[in-house]
Structure 1
């Protein structure tokens, strides 16, 4: 069974998945986010995806906190593009002793997902840098379907600087971010029962075939398989 709830950390989501649910696990789709994960005594970081990720290995319980797009790199001290399409042991990014202490803390907690949330809140409280309002505005604007060029103009930032900042915060450039957010927008519409042709138009695709191609390329499945599989 998969469960999630809004986190006390702004924009983040706390989630957990039981082993039984993994028997028919669906792919993890690109969403512009990064996650801090825990399972069986291990802490990992899920980098930003540009394609569907299908968990492998035997069924196991997982807990995680999914950070708002663009916020995890500053909290974890890593550039997003270094973890693109990867799952990395936190011990490869942080001192081993620090990771062991965190693992013990999460392991001892009655609810690992809640313990991960507390870890994230601690990281946020200790962070020297405040959340970048430009990045949040970028996500909100592109998520609403605004063009990249128009958004960059609104932000008063040049194309090259925007691209560099996006690589660090999101793991890829603004055009890929816009494409990923458009996919999520389309999935939300389709899951609410909106017909595919109308979903394509409202999400910002040229037509339904364009939607179908993008879903296949980013998700590795058809829209029908994602909604009904």
Structure 2
């Protein structure tokens, strides 16, 4: 019952995560904050639809069609579709028209619908055809590099590539890490020290804003109150 979600990492640097899910007797979920944009396909009552979902700067309620199946590709930070400016998608989405069970149209070409197992081949084609691009400065900085550009230039490129500032990305990433740690049983005080929060009230405000849950709610999740994908990453909090 509820929202069943399966996900996996990818070896392709353009992809952050590949996921699929099924809704069962659930009409709404809490969509937690995310700094990544996604390409999502879903089928409901025999109709297939698709959309580009932008970054979510805070947790918010989201409708879920009952008895539907979903598949999505979450793209890595710095990756974008130049013909769809990401700053227009922050907190929103752009639906893709003319989707069938077999194909959909993207930038003037017909594409076969991807699935959970061939997402990498699909994204490689997007890269080859120039539909997806990546600003290399973003992943470099997130991995600790210090590029020879001004701070102003760096911030401008981050916003252009991700739709968010470095500070917003850092806060979202830290809150998601905190949520995972608390779900795994870590005491709130330990999470405060481990992730650099000022104190427990600071952690509580972060969880409420970005995850839409308190530490108590994360410790004892209610399956009837669905939460979007929250996964453990191997990366540290962005600099």
Q: Tell me whether 1:68 sits opposite 2:76 in the alignment.
A: yes
Of the two structures, which has the highest relative contact order with CA contacts closer than 8 Å and spacing of 6 or more? Answer: 2
The match for 1:78 is 84
Pairwise CA distance, 1:228: 2.5
Q: 1:163 corresponds to which residue?
A: 155
Q: State how far apart, in whole Å, the 2-side matches of 1:9 and 1:39 are.
A: 23
In the TM superposition, what are the counterparts of 1:80-119 in structure 2 within 5 Å? 80-91=86-97, 97-98=105-106, 101-102=110-111, 105-106=112-113, 112-119=115-122
Match of 1:42 in 2: 49
Q: 2:127 aligns with which of 124, 128, 138?
A: 124
Q: TM-score, normalised by structure 2?
A: 0.74
Report the CA distance shift for 1:194/1:139 in structure 2 as closer, same or farther (over 3 A).
Answer: same
CA RMSD of superposed structures (Å): 2.8
Give the deviation of 1:84 after TM superposition.
0.2
- C-alpha contact 1:31 1:180 (8 A) present in aligned 2: yes
TM-score between both structures, scaled by the size of structure 1: 0.77
Equivalent residue, structure 2, for 1:18: 22
Q: Residues 223 and 134 from structure 1, CA distance in 2 versus in 1: closer, same or farther, beyond 3 angstroms?
A: same
SS at match of 1:27: strand
Specify which of 206, 209, 218 is matched with residue 217 of structure 1. 209
Q: CA deviation at 1:36?
A: 0.4
Aligned residue for 2:20, secondary structure, equals strand
Alignment check: 8 A CA contact 2:33 2:57 kept = yes
Higher helix proportion: 1
Q: Tell me which protein shows more strand as a share of its residues.
A: 2
Give CA deviations for 1:1-22 in whole Å, capped at 9, x if unaligned: 21111234224311111122x6
Of the three residues 30, 55, 61, the one matched with 2:62 is 55
Residues 29 and 63 in structure 2, CA contact (< 8 A), matched pair in contact too: no
Long gaps (5+) in structure 2: 99-103, 222-239
Q: Is the 8 A contact 2:38 2:52 kept in 1?
A: yes
The number of residue pairs the alignment matches comes to 206
Cα distance 1:24–1:224, how it changes in 2: closer, same or farther (>3 A)? farther
